[in-house]
Amino acid sequence: MLPFRRLASIVRTSPGPARLPSIAHTQRLNPLASRYAPSRWNSTIASEPAEPSLSPPPPRTSKPKPNKSATALKRTASASLPIRHNPTPTRGDIRPVFTFSTVEKYNPIALSRLLPSAIEFEEAFWLPAWSYKGESCEVWVFCNGSVVIWGAGEDAARRFISDVFERDRSSTFGKILGHAESEELEFVTDPNESTRLQGDLIILGQAPMLNDFDQPKVSARKAEKASLPLETAAARYAFSHALARSTALASLETSLENYLQSVSSLPATLVATGKPGLERTELIMKLGELLKLRQSLNLTEESFSDTPDFYWAEPALEEYFNSVSKALEIKLRTKSVNDKITYAAELQSTLRELLTESTAHRMELIIIALIAVEVVIAFIRDGPELWESMFGKADKSKAERH
């Protein structure tokens, strides 16, 4: 049995650049080599060894953090491929439906004044036809601060907001979001299909069966200019409502992330200094900010964990609403936000207890100091009398004896 050093000698004595022998040649030289040789070692790699590179490896580029709802939609996007890749004569073009949110809330009274041609549709203001660059779009404006546009993208949404709202700030109340939130899906019309969400594609087909819902009346002029069939307007409202809720939740997620970032250094400060790192007033303000986030998430009209009452009497619309909510993982995201708020509340409670203990300890020291001062003052004021009453008679008796 030939030793492995024989292989090294073959490599050193071979003419030209050093080349490793092939697997077959190695097995002829030493049968044990076939047992221990890596399976990935082939003749191509062995014939062209990689030269060591002196250049540094390329730096790693940080990928932007994906939107949570967009990441959830990617899991089901493949379900829409049969519709996308198999067009039919009755099927229209695939168009975008874009949701945009730049403020916390819209003032409904101001909306009715700024959008005189809009139709009030439950919790939204509906514009059946709005023109952008010669294309007719449909707009839904929700009071939770979201604008949903069917048939156009982000540029149209920004244009609509700038044209309608930015000229009158009274249309908003609450703060303007530092980072605009958005959701984007696509839709297609096909009267031969059932109306549904398939993957990441909304199919507007047959009109839903409604029970007691009376759709707002649309004038003949508006109906003629409407960009989409009026028969599926209620379905589009349900889809838009879920999209608007997702962007509103995304704004709360961003606010909570900013809040957690602002208090992320407190545990390290507590470990390093043994002190909370915040004054009492600052801690109370942080606690108020946290309570406001939880209130916006659970205790307002836009309760993200519940289905709106409107859909209880309309199972078809509830199915549309829940399908988009499930695709965007609204309930899971709501639970995640609540869990993070619970953690932040526990942190705030711990810091508040530490501040209370430090304040109580400080008060104890102040009380001890006051008692000591009172004792000193008593000795200064009543010391001679006490001395006289205790030792004066003894001195007099000694003097009389002498």
In a domain, residue 341? The reply is yes
pLDDT at 42: 41
H or E stretch including 103? strand 95-106
Q: What is the largest CA-CA distance in the chain?
A: 138
The CA distance from 259 to 344, in Å, is 9
pLDDT of residue 178: 74
Question: Which two structure tokens, joined as six digits, stand for 202?
Answer: 């909304």
Q: Look up residue 352 and give its amino acid.
A: R
- The whole-number pLDDT of residue 316 equals 93
**Least confidently predicted of 308-312, 367-371, 388-392:** 388-392
**What is the pLDDT, as a whole number, of residue 63?**
41
Lowest mean pLDDT among 59-68, 139-148, 338-347: 59-68
The pLDDT score that the predictor gives to residue 55 is 42
Do residues 85 and 150 make contact, with C-beta atoms less than 8 angstroms apart? no
pLDDT 10s digits, 1-53: 444 444 344 444 444 444 444 444 444 434 434 433 443 334 333 344 444 44
pLDDT for 172 equals 66
Based on the domain organization, do 16 and 130 belong to the same domain? no
Domain residues for the domain of 71 are: 67-365
Residue whose C-alpha is closest to residue 114's, from 157, 166, 152: 166
- Reply yes or no on whether the pLDDT at 158 is more than 70: yes
| Higher pLDDT pick, 387 / 255 | 255
Number of domains making up the chain = 2
pLDDT tens by residue, 268-290: 888 888 777 778 788 888 888 88
In this prediction, residue 171 has a pLDDT band, given cuts at 50, 70 and 90, of low
Report pLDDT for 141: 94
Strand partners for 202: 187, 197
Contact 142, 124 (CB under 8 A): yes
**Does some domain include residue 101?**
yes
Residues 123 and 14 in one domain: no
* 207 has a pLDDT exceeding 60: yes
Domain end (from 334, 349, 365) = 365
Indicate whether 280 and 174 sit together in one domain. yes
* 230, 254 contact by CB (below 8 A): no
Query: Is residue 50 in a domain?
Result: no
Report the alpha-carbon distance of residue 238 to residue 316 in Å, rounded: 10
Residues 364 and 362: their CA atoms lie apart, in Å, by: 5
Q: pLDDT for 52-91, tens place per residue?
A: 444 444 444 334 344 556 656 767 788 889 889 888 999 9
* CA distance linking residue 81 with residue 10, whole number of Å: 58
- pLDDT for 395: 62
Examine the domain organization and report whether 120 and 192 are in the same domain: yes
Which has the closest alpha carbon to 104: 69, 68, 146, 161? 146
Instruction: Give the residue among 167, 172, 149 at the shortest CA–CA distance from 102.
Output: 172
Q: Are residues 33 and 105 in the same domain?
A: no
The answer to whether residue 31 is domain-embedded is: yes
**Secondary structure (3-state) at 164:** helix
